[in-house]
Amino acid sequence: MAVETTIPTTTSTSLGPAANEKDAEKLRFIDEMTAYADAVQEKVLAEILSRNAETEYLQRYKLGGATDRATFKAKIPMVTYEDLQPEIQRIANGDRSPILSAHPISEFLTSSGTSAGERKLMPTIKEELDRRQLLYSLLTPVMNLYVPGLDKGKALYFYFVKSETRTPGGLLARPVLTSYYKSEHFKSRPYDPYNVITSPTPAILCADSFQSMYVQMLCGLLHRLQVLRVGAVFASGLLRAIRFLQLHWEELARDIAAGSLSPKITDLSVRDSVADILQPDPELAEFVRAECSTGEWAGIITRIWPSTKYLDVIVTGAMAQYIPTLEHYSGGLPMACTMYASSECYFGLNLRPMCKPSDVSYTIMPNMAYFEFLPLELAATRKGDGDVQLVDLARVEVGKEYELVITTYSGLCRYRVGDILRVTGFHNAAPQFRFVRRKNVLLSIESDKTDEAELQKAVESASELLKPYNATVVEYTSHAFTKTIPGHYIIYWELLVKDCSQGRTPGGEVMERCCLAMEEALNSVYRQSRVADGSIGPLEIRVVRGGTFEELMDYAISRGASINQYKVPRCVNFPPILELLDSRVVSAHFSPALPNRSPQRSG
């Protein structure tokens, strides 16, 4: 009788039994980093300070080569982007001296956070790509702990690049994911059965968002029975893909039936990338038509991709507003939020990716940067870190909220990211955080972040158009409407028309111009999403009848607000208040055209 030898298929780690030895190594790395969080942090700080000791920035604060926490905390101030703008501008203009970082700045990453209406420019160095890659490499081993068999099929991920520009000094400026997708790390990644994606790389790298989406969707349909997970970076991106299918299924089905690609796809490398897989398949074309022509979109994801086990999308923070819509389209599939990252630095990952969106906590990886935490009650103070004690990563307290402050290998020192996080617990000695909110963001549809000051400026700018009519905006509030795709901003205006005796009340055409004027006054990320991506719909002004905002105040007071302290909320989400506003609308107007995009940077 033959003796059967069994090869062990699982490898035990403290996070659970790994799917294979390669995963086990990554999980052990997570364990090690989190078990020695404080020591790793101390080492990271010493590395950053010693390599950057000769930079102009650290020299300015006379660290004298010290690399310890105490000296660092005593001498280096906490800063915001605006504080660093002069240094960043010099780098952008071509100054190659070691200003913030001893390593050469390789490019700028354009953040979706803005400063003075423009995307923030984050200087980065080449080796940061390796650090980001390292964090990416941890995601699959963690996911494999919860979802077995991901090597038996494919992932349908909608990934996109955006246009890139150059700074006056010649450095590239582009979003962090564009930089990643264009890197050899992504383009030349070795075959990994656990990470086979349906989208061909040329389709992802095509800057024309229509062509890119069309071919990514087409490939998703062609491989529909192998698809095990469907995703995009953020929830808004996945919903755009569904919207795309709603609008273009007929063309897609036609291409599938004929086995030839629409002439709208003009990018040759994109055309080449599907040449081998697009064969006439009338049966599949008929299936797509049957599913999409009914007008019933509930559960469309699992109807078209029946083996989908989960959606891979971020639905925390501003993206939480999309959870109900995604549930509708997916028939309630789990949503995995796998990582927490930014242009400044990639922070960490979710060690329980299949948990409910409301329970998501991210574990910050102590090797990525040096992390400090500004207790929320002190976050209102802009500087004053002489008396403000920032808390170290390993010393934050469960239940408390903090603003994240980072010191990176690229040269940001004690930089306020603007994210508010709540500690929910620990994994080993590393804290886990719930993403609470981004500071000062009032309105967001996708990556746009509009704050109160920007909204105020936009209202002021638009209301100039009312002057000839002797009309003014007496009150306003706003709402990010996301029940339709793309979503759009709604601004509620209460007008005071001082003299309408000559029949000169602002008409529909004037109000439409006001909508456009508001859009033109909003930040460049908003305008880019409107113009280049079409991911935000035309801004809407809803004029409410006189006295509506007083009713709003009465409502708030009836619910316990103090008259002395009452302030008109500049953004409303509470359904009864939205209902009240909507029931008082006398006219609604949409922006009739696309706003001008900034002629300068657009990345």
Figure out which of the listed residues 105, 143, 197, 341 binds ligand AMP, where binding follows CB under 6 A.
341
Tokens (6 digits) for 582: 């909507």
Rounded Cα distance, 520 and 462, in Å? 9
Stretch 404-423 residues interacting with ligand AMP (CB under 6 A): 417, 419
Rounded Cα distance, 113 and 320, in Å? 18
Shortest Å distance, C-beta 10 to ligand AMP: 29
Residues contacting 500, CB < 8 A, separation 6+? 470
Stretch that binds ligand AMP, among 131-139, 282-290, 335-343, 458-466 (CB under 6 A): 335-343
Figure out which of the listed residues 305, 310, 322, 340 binds ligand AMP, where binding follows CB under 6 A.
340
301 makes contact with ligand AMP (CB under 6 A) = no
| For ligand AMP, the closer CB: 255 or 312 | 312
| For ligand AMP, the closer CB: 185 or 254 | 185
| For ligand AMP, the closer CB: 111 or 308 | 111
DSSP 8-class letter at 6: P
Stretch that binds ligand AMP, among 78-86, 186-194, 265-273, 313-321 (CB under 6 A): 313-321
| For ligand AMP, the closer CB: 91 or 441 | 441
User: What amino acid is encoded at 349 in this protein?
Assistant: L
Rounded Cα distance, 554 and 566, in Å? 10
Binding map of ligand AMP across residues 81-100, x = CB under 6 A, - = no contact: --------------------
Shortest Å distance, C-beta 119 to ligand AMP: 8
DSSP 8-class letter at 76: P
| For ligand AMP, the closer CB: 449 or 542 | 449
Tokens (6 digits) for 429: 């000695």
| For ligand AMP, the closer CB: 200 or 487 | 487
Task: Round to the nearest angstrom and report the end-to-end CA distance of the chain.
Answer: 68
Shortest Å distance, C-beta 435 to ligand AMP: 4
Shortest Å distance, C-beta 487 to ligand AMP: 17
Shortest Å distance, C-beta 241 to ligand AMP: 19
Look up tokens 């997916």; give the residue. Answer: 330
Residue 486, preceding bond cis, omega within 30 degrees?
Answer: yes
Is the distance from CB of 470 to CB of 449 less than 8 angstroms? no
Figure out which of the listed residues 314, 365, 518, 521 binds ligand AMP, where binding follows CB under 6 A.
314
Say how many residues make up the chain.
Answer: 603
Rounded Cα distance, 438 and 415, in Å? 15
Shortest Å distance, C-beta 594 to ligand AMP: 22
282-292 vs 209-222: helix axis angle to the nearest 10? 110
| For ligand AMP, the closer CB: 78 or 341 | 341
Shortest Å distance, C-beta 423 to ligand AMP: 16
Figure out which of the listed residues 42, 76, 84, 113 binds ligand AMP, where binding follows CB under 6 A.
113
Radius of gyration of the chain (CA): 26
Alpha-carbon dihedral angle through residues 265, 270, 272, 277, given to the nearest 10 degrees: -90
For residue 269, count other CB atoms closer than 10 A to its CB.
Answer: 12
Shortest Å distance, C-beta 256 to ligand AMP: 35
| For ligand AMP, the closer CB: 13 or 343 | 343
209-222 vs 268-275: helix axis angle to the nearest 10? 0
112 makes contact with ligand AMP (CB under 6 A) = yes
Coil/strand/helix, residue 280: coil
Figure out which of the listed residues 289, 328, 438, 597 binds ligand AMP, where binding follows CB under 6 A.
438
| Number of residue whose CB is nearest ligand AMP | 317
Tokens (6 digits) for 134: 């390292």
Coil/strand/helix, residue 273: helix
Binding positions for ligand AMP, rule: CB under 6 A: 111-113, 176, 314, 316-317, 337, 340-343, 417, 419, 435, 438, 447
